[in-house]
Amino acid sequence: MERTFFAIKPDGVGRGLVGEVIARLERKGLRLIGLKLMQVTPQLAQQHYAAHSEKPFFQGLVSFITSGPIVATVWEGREAVSVVRGLMGATDPVKSAPGTLRGDYGLSISSNLVHGSDGPEAAEREISLFFRPDELVGASRPEETWIYAGE
């Protein structure tokens, strides 16, 4: 099973969308194995967005992610990274398909509700930034028999 990091950003938390967002990922069949409500520090934000440090929008990313609490999560499942990316929709919510999180709930590219790892390596790095190994708890669910039937 693959793991991925997924965060509900300050705008999603502030708008009261946490339950809806988590429910969508659970209904897809992913397993929630880590969850915390937290305030991101500027130092953590800079580490998290290090790949964008030379880009003109870097400071905006750091300012936004530290502007309010986030819900940091870790999900597990078959091709979890690509499944979560599909559920999120395009970075620009205006270009996101209806039925995606950003397509249904977003209008702003700078306040686009959620973040998800863009690959397995990024997922490992991001999970280790936000969670200690002992904070991840996994247990199979009975319905996984049907979710992964034939695998």
The token pair that represents 50 in the structure block: 């290090």
Catalytic choice (102, 115, 123, 130): 115
Closest among 91, 62, 88 to 75, alpha carbons compared: 88
- Under a CB-based contact definition with an 8 Å cutoff, are residues 67 and 10 in contact? yes
Whether residue 115 lies in the annotated active site = yes
- Under a CB-based contact definition with an 8 Å cutoff, are residues 81 and 117 in contact? yes
End-to-end CA distance of the chain: 12
- Compute the C-alpha angle 81/65/108, nearest 5°: 80
- Under a CB-based contact definition with an 8 Å cutoff, are residues 88 and 102 in contact? yes
**Residues that are catalytic:** 115
